[in-house]
Structure 1
Amino acid sequence: MLMNRAETMLVNSPPRRWLQRYEAHVLATLGGRTPGARVAEIGCGPGGGTRLVLDRFGAATVHAVDLDPAMLPRARRRLAPYGDRVRLTQGSATDLRTAFAPFDGGGDGTYDAVFDFAIVHHIPNWRDALAEVARVLKPGGRFYFDEVTATALARRSYRLLFDHPTEDRFTAGEFLAELPRHGLDVGDRWRTRIGGDYLLGVAQRR
């Protein structure tokens, strides 16, 4: 599901970039860095998270996808200094095989890590997105996630300002319970923030 105008403005704002740096710090604390890794990112938006994956986590390459084609020109400008280390494409997080096919990516066990900076809660069939994440990860690969839960989405401010799917939204507990069903083990590598509104964690592919 595409973001509305208000959320698009927020995602492209300096406060969101500052917050992503904090989120990246928490995720690195929970799951470590990914030096030299081949990484996929779902929902790259304007590329702020992609840059953190390269600089903060040390990834060698990133294949990044976003459903909104309007986001990609912003991301390309921001990520141009990284050259061939970054490949960007328009597509769905529920079909990474098709999205990453031009880059010889998206196959089973392709990536050392997958990053999700708050995109899965936008996806109506979010369980399918988790299944795709698990499919493309190598055994032992890590899934870094930063998510907005149903607790936050039910708040009046979220309902007034932003558009999200209204059915089958996950709480932090429901998201964590779904991960092992797809071969992703999180253990104690997760944190919630602001009364369970936000969930950050790292799961490892069996």
Structure 2
Amino acid sequence: MKMNAIETALMNNPVRAAIQRHYEAPLLERLGGRTPGERVLEVGCGRGVGTEIILERFGAAHVTAFDLDPAMVQRARRRLRRHLPGRVALSVGDVTSIDTPDAEFDAVFDFGIIHHVPDWRTALGEIARVLRPGGRFYFEEVTRHALQRWSYRTFLLHPTHDRFSGEEFAAGCTVAGLDVDGRSVERFFGDFIFGVATRH
């Protein structure tokens, strides 16, 4: 599900980028370490801030990234042009049907995308499929607790059925073959879950 105009504006501003760089990325690094020299996938890349972070902070050798919205992919192309095509590959794509072979990546990053996906369990299965055994899934997700708030319901557009709690998201990872093993934390009164899971 694509973001509505309000959420698109919220995601494309310097405050969101600063939170990603200075809060989310350090927390995910503490939970799962860096990815030096690795092949990484980012699902739902938006305008490319997450891809920059994966390259610069996490040290990935190459990032493949996609987004459901072609306009966001074009923004990412402009932002990441100095890395194209050597270190970054960008495309329009769907996390429930990832166009890549099995066990292709050493790590997958999700900076708050899967709560937009009605069939989020299929998305987790696809992420597990494209990870090599021992590969890591880094995630920051918005839970049902947040999506039930008046502000989210009034101004933002999200799937209305089968939303997950932090515990349910971690359990979904396990079912998909991704072991969280205690490497997850909930923040902001349970509105967000951050974690790292390892592929069996």
Which secondary structure state, in structure 1, belongs to the residue aligned with residue 162 of structure 2?
coil
Q: Where in structure 2 are the equivalents of 1:71-86 lying within 5 Å?
A: 71-83=72-84, 84-86=86-88
Aligned amino acid, residue 65 of structure 1: F
Give the length in aligned residue pairs: 198
1:109 alignment counterpart: 103
| 2:172 is equivalent to residue 171 of structure 1 | no
Moved over 4 A (4+): none
Give how far 1:188 is off: 1.4
Q: Where in structure 2 are the equivalents of 1:14-163 lying within 5 Å?
A: 14-21=14-21, 22-83=23-84, 84-97=86-99, 106-163=100-157
1:202 alignment counterpart: 196
Give how far 1:54 is off: 0.3
1:102 alignment counterpart: none
Instruction: Tell me the TM-score normalized by structure 2.
Output: 0.98
Give how far 1:82 is off: 1.2
Partner deviation per Cα, 1:110-150 (whole Å, 9 max, x = no partner): 00000000000000000000000000000000000000000
Aligned amino acid, residue 17 of structure 1: A
Uncovered stretches (5+) of structure 1, i.e. residues with no partner: 98-105
CA distance in 1, matches of 2:163, 2:80: 32
1:2 alignment counterpart: 2
Aligned amino acid, residue 35 of structure 2: T
Aligned amino acid, residue 97 of structure 2: D
Which secondary structure state, in structure 1, belongs to the residue aligned with residue 36 of structure 2?
coil
Which secondary structure state, in structure 1, belongs to the residue aligned with residue 70 of structure 2?
coil
Give how far 1:178 is off: 1.0
Partner deviation per Cα, 1:43-74 (whole Å, 9 max, x = no partner): 00000000000000000001101000110111
CA distance in 2, matches of 1:56, 1:93: 24
